[in-house]
Amino acid sequence: MPTSAGLGTVTFENSGAPAAQADFLRGVAWLHSFGYEDAIEAFRAAQRTDPAFALAYWGEAMSYSQPLWFFEEPDKGRAALARLGATPEARVARGATDRERGYLRAVEALWGAGDRLTRLAAYREAMAAVSRAFATDDEARVFHALGILATLPTGDASLPMREQAGALAEAVFARQPTHPGAAHLILHAYDHASLAPRGLAAARAYARIAPAASHALHMPAHFFVQLGHWTDAAASDRASWDASVAWVSRGGRSVVQRDFHSLTWLQYELTQLGRFAEAQRVATDVDAAIAIATANDVVGGHIYADSEIGRGSGPAALRNDKGSMRARYVIESERWSEMRGQQSFDNLDELFVLGVAALRRKEDAAVAIAVRGELQKASAPGMDAGLREQASILLLELEAIAAFGDGIPGVAFAKMDEAVALQARMPRPIGRPFPVKGADELYGELLLEAGRPGDAVTWFERTLTRTPNRSRAVLGLARALTREGQAAKGRAAYAQFLENWKGADDGLPELAEARAAVAAKR
């Protein structure tokens, strides 16, 4: 019996009672779209209808593992299985067919002995065995693909396994074009800069397949952002945020359980569209959540108020979101005066922009010095490796801006050489760029200020290779080409910038500049 109620179409043969099928299939559909709370609710409803339905317990146990979000609740997964039987052997025996017993062996491996990665690898191999044994079972292929993606190595070393998982999901997608898991896992498999174009078709399909799932509406943005499709990206994350707001409202849940991940992406995408007023408005949605999260108990970074598995964000995570949103708004709009008088910061992004704004305003020298000291601390040995890497780049960028402002461009460019070398060791971003101001883009801007437009062109082009169609880089390239004497290419870049900002706020000086440049040929 298939299901399709805003969640896509799932066909999963099983031995459960007919009356339990709708709930079971709804649970599987939610599981495919990472709607774990709703999946648990559906699988438990199937258990109440048919207490002997072994796969309903399998589904609930699966729902306590969020492998691509690096979160799990082993005790709850094991407790769900314990309600099916006292031992793994007894539970597996409850499966009515060899195929069902294969699924049950896989979830026993997931919640068996060993650390998280050991158990995930065991699950992957168990699902591979099911997939091999039952050649027509598309569900087995999708869950096998999930097992592969759950055990990826980092960086480019992940590419062979990504392609393996992508091939499994694509084969199912070709046979079942409304299958939520197939479309979804194509996106996770190809969520890498070198593979992103291969996921675009599935990205456009997934939101239509499962519009009831906020995550299904967000995932396409991973591809739209990587390819610089800002209007599509903003529409995707706006829909995702709105769906999460509706989900919270329907269930009487706390506002901290809204999808702030999508909201932070939306805010960045709005800055790329020149819609700064709206970017400011959406950022205010974080404030109420911070107040509520602070007033609730937080365990392990998750709110446990209305959700069994902690969908919500804790106050530290929300403040981090707020700091990054504030920083991106200022860095993308270049409204440095808006940081005047601000003393506090919530994360590295906001700290850096405090310093840049002080230098760009040519005032508050003490603030810039203090920021430099904080960045030195954050980049010191012993700090978190990922943050240390970004802090090191941000420190060099800040020092370069300071040196340039002091009239010593040689020092500034030496600092930028170090910064771009460090950034080159980092992977290309798959979402909002990191660091908050790309070193290649800043290098181009400083070269342009120094009257070296030809060199600036090179760095803006490198920026657009790493982060396609970034509006500030497109504008910088247009300026550099024009000043270099390449008027036609400059007008083309200005035209691209205007396409990005076709719905931008009124009265922005960048719009007037670009329009004048494009009209100059006429």
CA–CA distance, 261 with 115 (Å, rounded to integer): 28
Fold equal for 1-212 and 438-522: yes
Q: CA neighbours within 13 Å on the CB side: how many for 235?
A: 10
CB neighbour burial string for 289-319, b if at least 16 within 10 angstroms, e if fewer: bbebbeebebeeebbebbbebbbbbbbebbb
Q: CA neighbours within 13 Å on the CB side: how many for 464?
A: 20
Q: Nearest CA to 34 among 286, 319, 304, 240?
A: 240
The number of beta carbons lying within 10 Å of the beta carbon of residue 186 is 28
Tokens of 366: 């003490």
Q: Which CATH superfamily is domain 438-522 in?
A: Tetratricopeptide repeat domain (1.25.40.10)
Cα 8 from chain centre: 22
Q: Is 66 helix (H, G, I), strand (E, B) or coil?
A: strand
**213 φψ region: left (φ > 0), alpha (ψ -120 to 50), beta (else):** beta
Name the DSSP letter for residue 3. Answer: B
**For the packed helices 230-251 and 214-226, what is the interaxial angle rounded to 10 degrees?**
160
Q: Nearest CA to 323 among 339, 310, 303, 337?
A: 339
CA–CA distance, 452 with 454 (Å, rounded to integer): 6
CATH class of 1-212: mainly alpha
CA–CA distance, 28 with 179 (Å, rounded to integer): 11
Residues 6+ apart with CB under 8 A from 85: 91, 93, 94
Question: pLDDT 10s per residue in the chain (522 long)?
Answer: 456 579 999 999 999 999 999 999 999 999 999 999 999 999 999 999 999 999 999 999 999 999 999 999 999 999 999 999 999 999 999 999 999 999 999 999 999 999 999 999 999 999 999 999 999 999 999 999 999 999 999 888 999 999 999 999 999 999 999 999 999 999 999 999 889 899 999 999 999 999 999 999 999 999 999 999 999 999 999 999 999 999 988 888 888 888 899 999 999 999 999 999 999 999 988 887 887 777 764 433 333 232 333 345 678 888 889 999 999 999 999 999 999 998 889 999 999 999 999 999 998 888 999 999 999 999 888 877 778 899 999 999 999 999 999 999 999 999 999 999 999 998 888 888 889 999 999 999 999 999 999 999 999 999 999 999 999 999 999 999 999 999 999 999 999 999 999 999 999 999 999 999 999 875
Cα 415 from chain centre: 30
CA–CA distance, 478 with 126 (Å, rounded to integer): 54
Task: State pTM to two decimals.
Answer: 0.89
Q: Where are the domains of the chain?
A: 1-212, 226-333, 346-360+370-437, 438-522
